[in-house]
Amino acid sequence: MARIINEPSHTFNEYLLIPGYSSSECTPANVSLKTPLVKYRRGEAPSLSMNIPMVSAIMQSVSGDRLAIALATEGGISFIYGSQSIEDEAAMIKRVKAYKAGFVRSDSNLRPDSTLADILELKERTGHSTVAITEDGTREGRLVGIVTSKDYRVSRLDRSTPVSTFMTPFEKLVWAKEGTTLKEANDILWDHKLNALPIIDDDRKLCYFVFRKDYDMHKQNPNELLDAHKRYIVGAGINTRDYEQRIPALIEAGADVLCIDSSEGFSEWQKRTLAWVREKYGDTVKIGAGNVVDGAGFRFLAECGADFVKVGIGGGSICITRETKGIGRGQATALIDVCAERDKYFEETGIYIPVCSDGGIVYDHHITLALAMGADFVMLGRYFARFDESPTSKVSIGGTYYKEYWGEGSSRARNWQRYDMGGDKKLSFEEGVDSYVPYAGSLKDNVEMSLSKVKSTMCNCGALTIPELQEKAVITLVSATSIVEGGAHDVIQKDKTQIK
């Protein structure tokens, strides 16, 4: 007969944190949420860390390039969904990497004999108002001028007007030579009150632009997550079928970290994928794996070479794997089990492998509980699907706005690779639903609010960092009755009545 675990598995909602001593230093402003993303050896720093413990789910309805930019601005990472063509996923990665950088290669370029109509068409297509005018119209051609929105008024110029007649010519431009540091370039921008500074070589060929808005954005968003070239950090989802073609394309596009997108990670398929990555790239390519729900699953993926391990099966709001297949585990219990094995592995090997809690987050305080239970960061789907920046449509139902949200195992996504067990290339039955979630506005506002709650709770526990929280936290299991007691009860709430 099967091995029976008589202890029931629990969800986050069945636990509470017990407050600890808080010193005068324990204020939310002093809390650091920095956390490792990939494995590292004892005494060394991880090669990739995040400034907040949040990543977005590898889902069509969540992680597009727009959300990736917004989340990296706040200090987290999006994993662009892999259930699309290799070319389309790579294009999304490129858009994120090109959005912001210290030195930006121009992707809006025209020749002097182009017209105002060409300028307007290019602006409509790229969204960029700064256009480099080069002799041959290429990004690295000889610079002859620049056009910005200040150089023309559509109401006063015919659309056939040549660019050469209204551009700012090179002779009137402020520019810098190749080799100028980013600090020097920013100083020039400020000294001359410029919005864009072209960087050229000795032959006057355009090398880069440096934009004032990038400097301003960094000052406004001190947590933004940037690589060594001042570009946003972005992740990408892969599957265990076409990884030999997909991974090289994503790496070339600029993906900083990969993650195998699978409903169940304790498998030969993930072992083969990780082995191929290590054989081809060594440790230079960072890749997470999962999902698992116990210590044995963690140990398996750790020994296969995973850089982080995702925990959770069936706990997502749109996931029906537990209903359809009868597999899974309560998210809190799964996380506690896996993190205990992670700590044991660290003691044995000196290698720390971060754990990502994926699923089961309903309320903001569940994030704090997940961190206290040992997670290094959480992966969120429904949470991010509600925001302006998610790739889905906003719809009005009964006068209330919602965003569309569907699972990768739904008939809409039909991401058969995620549920692949070596059979036919199709989704035999659904493991996710198609749904709506209440529209919640911008990512920035909501993430700031959620993390302010996390920081406040950490202070209640006397912790200023995530490792300190994990060391000091005391967690209690609660009864069904005490869960009811924890909410508003025995009163008539004002927003539930109409006073006439």
Tens digits of residue pLDDT in 245-283: 999 999 999 999 999 998 889 999 999 999 999 999 999
The answer to whether residue 236 scores a pLDDT higher than 50 is yes
The answer to whether residue 419 scores a pLDDT higher than 70 is no
Residue numbers annotated as active site? 319, 418
Give the model's confidence band at 500: pLDDT under 50 very low, under 70 low, under 90 confident, else very high: very low
Give the model's confidence band at 473: pLDDT under 50 very low, under 70 low, under 90 confident, else very high: very high
Give the model's confidence band at 416: pLDDT under 50 very low, under 70 low, under 90 confident, else very high: very low
Mean pLDDT of 299-305: 98
Return the HEC string of the chain: CCCCCCCCCCCHHHEEEECCCCCCCCCHHHCCCCEECCCEECCCCCCCEECCCEEECCCCCCCCHHHHHHHHHHCCEEEECCCCCHHHHHHHHHHHHHHCCCCECCCCEECCCCEHHHHHHHHHHHCCCCEEEECCCCCCCEEEEEECHHHCCCCCCCCCCEHHHCCEEHHHCCCEECCCCHHHHHHHHHHCCCCEEEEECCCCEEEEEEEHHHHHHHHHCCCCCECCCCCECCEEEECCCCHHHHHHHHHHHCCCEEEECCCCCCCHHHHHHHHHHHHHHCCCCCEEEEEECCHHHHHHHHHHCCCEEEECCCCCCCECHHHHHCCCCCHHHHHHHHHHHHHHHHHHHCEECCEEEECCCCCHHHHHHHHHCCCCEEEECHHHHCECCCCCCEEEECCEEEEEEECCCCCCCCCHHHHCCCCCCCCCCCCECEEEEECCECHHHHHHHHHHHHHHHHHHCCCCCHHHHHHHCEEEECCHHHHHHCCCCCCCCHHHCCCC
Tell me if the pTM is above 0.85. Answer: no
